[in-house]
Structure 1
Amino acid sequence: MRSFFIIILFSASLVFGQGTDVSINDKIEGLLIGSAIGDAAGGPLEFVSPPERSYWTTTTEKLTKEGIEELAGLFKLRPYPKDAKPFAQWEPFGPAGTITDDTRFKMIFFNTLKNYDGELTMHNFAQSVLDFRKELPEKYRDNYDEWIPEIAYATKWALGVREDAYPVERIWGGIPTMEGQMPFLPVAALNPFDPEWCYKKTYELGYFDIGIAKDINSALVAGLARALQPDGSWQNIEEAMRKIDPYSYNETLYVERELTKWLDRSHEFAGRADGCVSRLFTILENELQTVYWWEVWVPVVVVFAVSEMCDYHPLASMQVILEFGHDTDSYAQVMGAIMGALHGKDVFPGSMRETVNTEMKRQFNQDVNDWMDLVSTYQCH
């Protein structure tokens, strides 16, 4: 009876999107490892077409509590069925737990903290992007050379270089992307009790975030900071994202704030799906107004709509992200960061955490344990 009671309490906390009673360090570790797990889980499925889908994402039935648990039970890490790619994994046919550029960008973020004694500026971060090659094992340097050119044009420009460089506004053809969501989610861990500071710091660092990406990516990090607080919940994540607005996007003449529009639509999409995951997928496919599936608003809408559909169950939400498809690693790394920040590291199975940390350490000689040491050293107090 006692174990049943504990399960009910845990389930209730998930239904209401409320974090559990865990320490701030566990929440920070949850954010970091959750993001890496999401990246590693989504990497092998990234842009696979058609995506592999299970009963609850293909039926027209409404998702039940039992269905949510079934979906949660399907979430796993898997090996890569493909050779190394510049923006995917750098380990050919990498084993389960191998990460992609979403996590490699976080390695650059933490290299900046380490190599510049915590002086986290746009200049130092941009220089760390260019210096990442020499930090890598020899076998990955050719992969870096394939990955860096488009990013290097903007990075050099941001550093004041004009040879072999282009204005930052040109990156990715001027498309506002989710690139800032890759390195900067850990900014929330440095000052979780000041989400506005986290917004401003992300805004400052994100030289490759152009147009509305500046605001949306910065707001997401502010929301993550709020999630790390003891009473963190999905409700106050979203409230922070909407209300923390140091540069007055909410007051722009004639123009609706894009962040507000897409948060509203995430709830609208989930409501119209009426409990049917396959219907939600159809709505997302038809109404996300995306071409590439990595425009800045796409992960936010997918994550918020899917989590609402799954009654905020962490692993079920992660699994539905994978079954939706497209840029799965980027969506799942955001979902994993939020779920870890709310519920702490133990929301993910210990074996899964160990596998991802082991592969990060084996391949790149750094893991979440190293990151936690850097957070402890350079966190604002």
Structure 2
Amino acid sequence: MKRRRILSSFAVLWAASAVKVSAQTTADQSKTTDTAEALAHRLGISLDRLRGFLIGSLLGDALGGPIEFSDPDRLPDDMPHVRQWKAGTKLTATHCETLARTLRLRGYETLRPETAPFGPWRKRAPAGTITDDSRHKIILLRAINRAIDHAGQAPVTIDRSRLAAEYLRPLRHVDESAESTAALDRDGFKPYRDAARWWAAKSIQSSPEPTPEPTPDFASEPAYPPERLWAGVANCSGQMALLPLAAVFPGKPVAAYEATYAIDFLDSDHAVDYCAAINAGIAEVLSDRHNDSDPDARMQALIQTMIQTDPYHYADIPFTERPFAQWLGRGRQWAELADRDPRQLFEKLEREGKPHFWWDAHFTFVVPLAIMHLCRDDPMAAMNLCLDFGHDTDSYAQLLGAWIGAIHGREVFPTSMVRHVERRLEVDFGESVDDWCRTLLNAAHRAEQQQLRFVR
């Protein structure tokens, strides 16, 4: 009975959460940009690469969404179809130029016309529409923003309970007239909410927020141990949701790792190490100390930081090896052995990548990593190859896009594609990349002042 009362009370944290849509004048936008640039400079973060990092992840998601889990042999006719290339064909500068030029942001109208809990939430969704990979990021950014706004000038602590509380709020389209998303929201986030309710008691005790009327059926919803999430399969949930956290700790990879590890209730097993190490690498290359480096040097810094950042000493555990380091090494090795032959790399990934599911944590990491290495001189060509590989395309491409943006900056992405994605993010969810940058810069400022902590 006590637990039931706690769960019923906890419904207050998600019963009524409206999506905010803000409109600013040109002068306000200019002032915001100037403030962001000044704050980014003081924090030692490249604002260009921060924007590129966020946009790249969104764009990769939107590029991969329409063809997610399509049979690789039945991808659209204008895809590269690497598996049909003559054996031994190696990427040339001409190949890469063609791959980059033919990269397309596709609509869902014919490829995936219906809504899906983990796919598009709009029927016949237009090009630029995101999937669950980016909706998880919306939840993280809202959790950070809500915690900071509510705290005012007081110190802020964000833990798994706070993140869980945000997962228990409904996520809706701004425009509900064309398509109700209530069922899609319920089904798409149900596994995570089942785990989030496990943190109900702690959240109720720590939350200072006001209490609207609870939803009548909330107490009847299940609360399951987080270890049960996705049956304990080490998957890419954290990689989808928690990447933006890297920007809170520019140039501080250990802090980024520890903060990610602290609040990641979405991952089980060693998948937490994957997510935290990825964020450590991104945090490093977002630092403005890499402004004078070339993209190849930044990529090497990303890789080396991911390898070396191991504050909990996974590498020292006896009788085993750190799984993350094993797969990182294999991905780089396979790319080298393929010797610019993408067909050979694809075969290697599918044959020796050993995914139980295409969304296994190690696989959603090793696919974009290997392709980035294979095609390191042309990031947009790498993106097209990542899509052509097939399977969980949006999850692979969102991570690849995040890396590309963090390494190269915003300008590497075609302007028309960026506009499509930003437009859909605003129209569907009332969110903007500029707002995300502001939230993350504010969080980074607080963290630097030791006024924001991420704890387990």
Q: TM-score, normalised by structure 2?
A: 0.76
Deviations 1:126-174 (A, max 9, x none): 1001113478654222210121222222111133489711111111111
Distance 2:234 2:196 in 1: 16
Unaligned runs of 5+ in 2: 1-43, 150-155, 203-218, 291-296, 449-456
Find the aligned partners of 1:294 and 1:315 in 2 and give their Cα distance.
23
Tell me the distance in 2 between the aligned counterparts of 1:242 and 1:291.
24
- Match of residue 138 from structure 2: 107
- The residue type paired with residue 110 of structure 1 is L
Residue 48 of structure 2 is matched in structure 1 by: 26
Q: For 1:135 and 1:91, locate their aligned partners in 2 and report how far apart those are by CA, in whole Å.
A: 9
- Pairwise CA distance, 1:99: 0.2
Task: Please give the alpha-carbon distance, in whole angstroms, between the structure 1 residues aligned to 2:198 and 2:261.
Answer: 17
Match for 2:341: what amino acid?
A: C
Are 1:68 and 2:106 an aligned pair? no
Asked if the contact 1:158–1:207 (Cα under 8 Å) also holds between the matched residues in 2, the reply is: no
CA deviations 1:275-333 (Å, max 9, x no partner) are 21111111111111102111111122111110111134210111000000000000100
Is residue 129 from structure 1 mapped to residue 170 from structure 2 by the alignment? no
SS, match of residue 332 in structure 1: helix
Which structure has the greater CA radius of gyration? 2
The separation in 2 between residues aligned to 1:208 and 1:376, in whole angstroms, is 24
Alignment RMSD: 1.9
Measured after TM superposition, the shift of residue 246 of structure 1 is 0.9
Deviates more, 1:152-161 or 1:177-186: 152-161
Match of 2:148 among 117, 121, 143: 117
The 1:55–1:171 alpha-carbon spacing in structure 2 relative to 1, beyond 3 Å, is: closer
State the match for 2:242 in structure 1: 184
For residue 84 of structure 2, the aligned residue among 33, 55, 58 is: 58
Q: Which residue of 2 aligns with 1:7?
A: none
1:89 partnered with 2:120: yes
Q: Using the TM superposition, give the Cα deviation of residue 124 of structure 1 relative to its aligned residue in structure 2, in angstroms.
A: 1.1
Higher mean alpha-carbon deviation, 154-163 vs 360-369, is at: 154-163
Paired AA for residue 97 in structure 2: E
Amino acid at match of 1:356: V
The counterpart of 1:79, out of the listed 92, 101, 107, is: 107
- Find the residue that maps to 1:233 and give its secondary structure: helix
- What does residue 17 of structure 1 align with? none
Counterpart for residue 236 of structure 1? 301
- Say yes or no: does 1:156 pair with 2:197: yes
Distance 1:185 1:267 in 2: 22
1:8 alignment partner in structure 2: none
Q: For the structure 1 residues 199 and 355, does the alpha-carbon distance in structure 2 shift closer, same or farther, using more than 3 Å as the test?
A: same
CA distance in 1, matches of 2:444, 2:173: 23
User: Does the aligned pair in 2 maintain the 1:57–1:320 contact within 8 Å?
Assistant: no
| SS of structure 2 residue aligned to 1:117 | helix
**Greater Cα shift, 282-291 or 44-53:** 44-53
Q: Residue 226 of structure 2 aligns with which residue? A: 168
Counterpart of 2:17 in structure 1 is none
Match of 1:276 among 319, 323, 341: 341
CA distance in 1, matches of 2:259, 2:379: 28
Q: Which amino acid aligns with 1:184?
A: L
1:335 aligns with 2:373: no
The answer to whether the 8 A contact 1:58-1:277 is kept is: no
CA offsets per residue over residues 64-98 of structure 1, 9 Å max, x none?
11111111112121101221100011111200000
Q: 1:130 to 1:23 in 2, by over 3 A?
A: closer
Distance (whole Å) between structure 1 residues aligned to residue 45 and residue 329 of structure 2: 31
Letter in 2 for 1:274: D
1:191-246 per-residue CA deviation (whole Å, 9 max, x = no partner) reads: 11211111011111111211110111100011111121242611111111111111
Q: Structure 1 residues 368, 51: CA separation in 2 closer, same or farther (over 3 Å shift)?
A: farther
| Alignment CA distance shift 1:142-1:270 (3 Å) | same
Contact 2:45 2:287 in 1 (8 A): no
Deviation at 1:366, TM superposition (A): 0.7
Q: Secondary structure of 1:182's match?
A: helix
Supply the distance in 2 between the matched residues of 1:75 and 1:209 (Cα, whole angstroms): 32
Partner of 1:171: helix, strand, or coil?
helix
Residue 57 (structure 1) shift: 5.2
* Cα distance in structure 2, aligned partners of 1:192 and 1:132: 31
Equivalence for 1:248: 313
Is the CA contact (8 Å cut-off) linking 2:226 and 2:265 kept in structure 1?
yes
Task: Name whichever of 89-98 and 139-148 sits farther off.
Answer: 139-148
CA distance in 1, matches of 2:105, 2:138: 21
Structure 1 unaligned blocks of 5 or more: 1-21
Q: Counterpart of 2:369?
A: 304
Once the two structures are overlaid, the 10-residue window that deviates more, 87-96 or 136-145, is 136-145
Choose 305-314 or 166-175, whichever is displaced more: 305-314
Q: Distance in 1 between matches of 2:298 and 2:275?
A: 19
Q: 1:12 maps to which residue? A: none
Tell me how far apart the structure 1 counterparts of residues 248 and 45 of structure 2 sit (CA, whole Å): 15
Partners of 2:200 and 2:382 in 1: CA distance: 39
The residue identity in structure 1 corresponding to 2:237 is: E
Aligned to 1:254, the other structure's residue is in SS state coil
Q: Which residue in the other structure is 2:182 paired with?
A: 141
Q: What per-residue deviation string (whole Å, max 9, x for no partner) do you get for residues 87-127 of structure 1? A: 01111120000000011011101111221117432211110
